[in-house]
Amino acid sequence: MFGRLRNKIIFSFCVLMVGGGALSTTLVSRTMSRTLGAAVDRSGSTLAEVLADQLTEPLAYRDRLTTHRVLTGARESNADLVYAFVVGPDGTIIDHSFPVDRFPADLLPLARTTGPRTVQTEDGTLRHLTFPIARGVLGTLHVGVSMTWVDAATADAVSNVLVTTLIAMGAGILGILLLAHLITRPVLALRDAADRLGRGDIGAEAPVMGSDELADLARTFNRMAAQIRERIAESEALRAYVERVLDQMESGIMVVSGSRRVEYANRTAVRRHGPLEDVSCFEVMAGERPCDHCPVPEVLDTGQVLHRTYRAASGRTYELKWVPIIGRNGQPAVVERALDVTERLEVRERLERAQRLAVAGEISAGIVHAVNNPLDGVRRALDLAADRPEDPERVQRMLGLAKEGTDRIAGITRTLLSFARGDEAQDPVPVAVDALAEAAVSLSRLKADARQVTIETDLEPDLPEVWMDPQGMEEVLVNLVLNAVDACPDGGKVRVSAHTRDETLEISVQDSGPGIPVEAAQAVFEPFFTTKDTAHGTGLGLPVARRVVEAHGGELVLEEAELGGARFVARIPLRPAPQSLEGTLG
């Protein structure tokens, strides 16, 4: 390029020199012709004037011999005078400097001219001048003055100009070559450095030559290259840092392009699958084509994150996650994160097994506790009956106590069984909620009266019929009301309310008892949690009630009571159409 630049400079210079040379040559030749032509005119006119003087007398006396002698003598004595002739007032040629009767025919037209003319003849260029003899009375003298020397002088001057121009041009070209070399050397060096930098040689520097603008340019380039080096070093450090972080990750991380090539893999992924440079993700999975249900196109199409759990042939389990990103070349790609959860799952399974065992242990202890007491009673009653078999009345009473005990055990096992099977709720039917609440209240009335506890109801007028299991829900309400009565041993108040709110039926039972401390709020719903003595409490009432309510798609929660004690609220969605409750059981 810079070679071409130098050629351009030389070519432009040559064009300028040639143009300038041609122009100056033309100017010189024109000026010389004009100046020397005027000189010829002046000397020719003087000659003609002298000659006209000499001819006046011979012409007046018609002395042709003298006239001819004057004309030929003048031509012979003056080398620049090519010819001379006299034209009479009538236009005829009276005499001339040529031999007698040898007047050249091509000069005849000139005999009629009056002003000066430049004429080309075989002898070269000449100037034709006229001069009136005796103010034209005796005719006009015509002379031809040679201009050959003028041509020669002009040609000489032009050739001098040309030679000067050529010498100047040669010197100029040499100068230009030197200048071009001085300019192009640093520019070429700069270009080479830029080329090297462009090819990735970040150490490339341009030599600084001298202190001119090109040296400034080289310095600027070097500063720019240093900044690029700095930026590259910074981004390299950042890349290495991110890579170190990614390599420390427990998850295998790969970036897969839209064409399924692995763009990046962290150390965990490489440890799992081996080298991943220039392989496709299905090759990673030892396949020859993309896997069935390949998640990459789906993630790219929808732009959504996908999760899957995958159990590999090795028996290990991975939690996989695919996230769409913009890949290395600015094209959409997918990050695949594979976390080996095998150990975690095993630990969780062990933990769950241990928890199940603990729960089983707790439940067994609860059952043993719940069954042991009535069983003790039964044994004691039977022992007492056996002690005095002769007393039939006593035997009868003791057998009655023993039956009560076995009934209680049977009740406990029945409740336990239904709790374990989750069959608390039967198929739903439309139930009048106010009637259901009233029934529960009347079933609890006996015990309430004995404890001097008043039960009041707060039922929304025109409550709708709700699809539910009437028997299960009645048991729930009776249980809640009896618990509320139990909480008021020295008399008090229990309120049963039923309202509808936002497509939900809300039935609550609250009391004026001591309430339930916050720390026991969750425990009351756990099986076998009871604060009652063994004859009265099993700790199964609330857990069973909660399961029944949940089987209706609702919830049973403990809330603050206006009456000061506990308030249990059952919220059941108002079902628009009948459906089995079984499907909702957990």
Q: Under the rule (CB under 6 A), what is the footprint of ligand ADP?
A: 479, 483-484, 487, 511, 513, 516, 524, 529-532, 537-542, 565-566
Q: Which is nearer to ligand ADP, 187 or 509 (CB)?
A: 509
Q: Which is nearer to ligand ADP, 44 or 513 (CB)?
A: 513
Q: Rounded to an integer, what distance in angstroms lies between the CA atom of residue 185 and that of residue 497?
A: 102
Q: Which is nearer to ligand ADP, 385 or 542 (CB)?
A: 542
* Residue 528 C-beta: closest distance to ligand ADP, Å: 8
* Residue 482 C-beta: closest distance to ligand ADP, Å: 8
* Residue 560 C-beta: closest distance to ligand ADP, Å: 13
| DSSP 8-state symbol, 209 | -
Q: Rounded to an integer, what distance in angstroms lies between the CA atom of residue 65 and that of residue 76?
A: 16
Q: In degrees rounded to 5, what are phi and psi of residue 460?
A: -60, 130
Q: Which is nearer to ligand ADP, 70 or 524 (CB)?
A: 524
Q: Which is nearer to ligand ADP, 269 or 558 (CB)?
A: 558
Of 409, 228, 573, 225, nearest to 584 (Cα)? 573
Q: State whether the Cα torsion 148-151-154-160 is positive or negative.
A: negative
Q: Which is nearer to ligand ADP, 391 or 560 (CB)?
A: 560
Q: Do strands 465-468 and 429-432 pair parallel, antiparallel, or not at all (unpaired)? A: antiparallel
Structure token digits, residue 376: 């003790």
Buried-exposed string 139-173: b where 16+ CB fall within 10 A, e elsewhere = bbbbbbbbbeebbeebeebbeebeeebeeebeebb
User: Which residues fall within 8 angstroms of residue 572, CB to CB, at 6 or more apart?
Assistant: 466, 468, 504, 505, 507, 549, 552, 553, 554
Give CA separation, 499 vs 331, 502, 511, 568, in Å: 59, 10, 18, 14
Structure token digits, residue 298: 């789906």
- Is residue 242 classed as helix, strand or coil in its secondary structure? helix
| DSSP 8-state symbol, 100 | T
* Residue 295 C-beta: closest distance to ligand ADP, Å: 48
Point out the residue whose Cβ comes nearest to ligand ADP.
541
Q: Which is nearer to ligand ADP, 26 or 531 (CB)?
A: 531
* Residue 255 C-beta: closest distance to ligand ADP, Å: 56
Q: Rounded to an integer, what distance in angstroms lies between the CA atom of residue 344 and that of residue 525?
A: 31
What are the residue ranges of helices labelled H in 61-147? 64-77
* Residue 434 C-beta: closest distance to ligand ADP, Å: 22
User: Which residues fall within 8 angstroms of residue 239, CB to CB, at 6 or more apart?
Assistant: none
Q: Which is nearer to ligand ADP, 151 or 526 (CB)?
A: 526
* Residue 539 C-beta: closest distance to ligand ADP, Å: 5
Structure token digits, residue 221: 């380039």
* Residue 378 C-beta: closest distance to ligand ADP, Å: 20
Bridge-partner residues for 454, per DSSP?
493
Q: Which is nearer to ligand ADP, 428 or 513 (CB)?
A: 513
For residues 546 and 556, is the Cβ–Cβ distance under 8 A?
yes
* Residue 493 C-beta: closest distance to ligand ADP, Å: 12
- Is residue 324 classed as helix, strand or coil in its secondary structure? strand
Q: In degrees rounded to 5, what are phi and psi of residue 115?
A: -90, 175
Structure token digits, residue 57: 């007398």
Q: Which is nearer to ligand ADP, 44 or 554 (CB)?
A: 554
Q: Which is nearer to ligand ADP, 126 or 544 (CB)?
A: 544
Q: Rounded to an integer, what distance in angstroms lies between the CA atom of residue 24 and that of residue 165?
A: 9
* Residue 532 C-beta: closest distance to ligand ADP, Å: 5
Q: State whether the Cα torsion 225-226-231-232 is positive or negative.
A: positive
Find the radius of gyration of the CA atoms of the chain. 66
* Residue 458 C-beta: closest distance to ligand ADP, Å: 17
For residues 484 and 544, is the Cβ–Cβ distance under 8 A?
no
* Residue 245 C-beta: closest distance to ligand ADP, Å: 53
